[in-house]
Chain A
């Protein structure tokens, strides 16, 4: 099963209540995914050159301050850090590739959950209510958020196997469904230099979108390519630094519902997750069409691109 939710605020006056609006959406999807949960928050965007890093470590004795000191020596910069539950948010002035290289080589018990100027991902095994509590989701401020409640079918129930998946700067993906060609695609992407952390099919989809966008594709173009290159069942919700997108496969077995007002746009696996949003009674509520890309970028400028679903359904 799995539940997915996303909230993109078009009215910045609501940014202070992002967590208060988004947390109930995530918790409402508990029945669809009680084994693990996670969310990406887009908040406190850093100036160019400065990175935010979210790391996760299951060992309670692990010293984040020693790691921060080590990073300070390595990169000769100040490193700010704040630990929360099993995760730690660090910020430093450094190149993303250099930071990734450091963590791929260093033999550390911690893992990179997200890297970017804007994104922070927190995810853990456990009921969504517990996970939201660990990371104080309800108090979070920000411009948009994407979340997932997991009922694992394809791979292990671990922190690394939880959603959202983020393999590239500020991009993240949550997935309801299962991909059938992910092993072949994984090998192809590995040849192109991609590094995978899990056996999870959804990580392949995140990596795929990231590579497409690094090669110059827009979010919309990357999602259209995904319709050609990904086989299987999917409802995706994708976050980028200033964007938010939804895509369903041409068969569209996996549910999705969207709602939009002048202040926000939201998606969820089921309407009940949207039922508490302010103004939802008069919102435009609709079911996203199969094989159709829905994108909001730059504070809410929407563009919906409709492909010929008949052509897609025949594939």
Chain B
């Protein structure tokens, strides 16, 4: 099924179904050589290029629907358009670059890899993230990084209300204004190791901004354990 590395396989969704596209991508061997793919006429279809488990480079032309690039492992995807709900949800590794804006829950529950959103992301960006790195060139909506457990969310613009509500150990970096912080989220000191790590991440994302322009937010860790003083409340 796989084409030579130099060849780009054209998958036109006016000619083939989403099922056929995804099956072709699933047929790639996990340890095979990287292949190149171009998906045309996305037309807002859902579940495009989900569950890839092989090294490959996939370009998608057009706006995509829900759950694009979900569960991605090893692959590098670039989407030339906007994305619906749940872009790169539960990504394991690899890289997803979105040239437009993302709807809600981008990068939800992601375990690894890098998600770069060159426009804005709507509400709940990085909800329950578990190790993924998300870099948003624009702004994010309300309740971003809700219950985020691990990984890093970098916002070059502003963050909407209730940033980092019920946060665990994910690190949040915001360059603009956070409208307000959610329960148990607090601003933390930007130490040398954070500046260095953020600088590397911004480089990877292709964003030319100084790490020192960002503020760091993290968990106040006050919701981690049951507090006996509140026992009577329940």
Contact = CB atoms under 8 A, between A and B. Distances in A.
Contacts of A275: 43-44, 62-63
A269 to B, nearest CB: 10
B60 to A, nearest CB: 13
Given A310-B161, A310-B179, A313-B162, A272 B123 contact: no
Interface centre among B43, B44, B66, B84 (most CB of A within 10 A): B44
B160 A255 contact: no
Interface in A259-315: 270-276, 285-287, 290, 309-310, 313-314
B104 A272 contact: no
Contact of B84 (A255, A313, A314): A255
Contacts of A313: 142, 161-162
Contact of A287 (B44, B101, B180): B101
B142 A285 contact: no
B142 A290 contact: yes
A272 B43 contact: yes
A152 interface: no
A257 interface: yes
A290 B84 contact: no
Contacts of B62: 275
Chain B interface mostly helix, strand, loop or mixed? loop
A210 to B, nearest CB: 30
A271 B44 CA distance: 5
Interface of A: 252, 255, 257, 270-276, 285-287, 290, 309-310, 313-314
Interface centre among A252, A255, A272, A273 (most CB of B within 10 A): A272
A309 B162 CA distance: 11
Nearest to A291: B142
Contacts of B65: 270-272
B21 to A, nearest CB: 15
Interface string B88-117: 000000000000110110000000000000
30 contacts: A252-B104, A257-B84, A270-B44, A270-B65, A271-B63, A271-B84, A272-B44, A272-B45, A272-B46, A272-B65, A274-B44, A275-B43, A275-B44, A275-B62, A275-B63, A276-B43, A286-B101, A287-B101, A287-B103, A290-B123, A290-B141, A290-B142, A309-B160, A309-B161, A309-B179, A310-B160, A310-B179, A310-B180, A313-B142, A313-B161
Contact of B63 (A276, A285, A309): A285
Contacts of B103: 255, 257, 287
A252 B144 CA distance: 13
A282 to B, nearest CB: 12
A309 B44 CA distance: 28
Nearest to A286: B101
Contacts of B85: 255
Contacts of A271: 44, 63, 65, 82, 84
A143 B84 CA distance: 29
A252 B63 CA distance: 21
Nearest to B103: A287
A71 to B, nearest CB: 46
A291 to B, nearest CB: 10
B103 to A, nearest CB: 6
Interface string B62-84: 11011000000000000000101
A313 B161 CA distance: 8
Interface string B150-186: 0000000000111000000000000000011000000
Interface string B35-73: 000000001111000000000000000110110000000
Contacts of A272: 43-46, 65
A255 B85 CA distance: 8
B125 interface: no
Contacts of B140: none
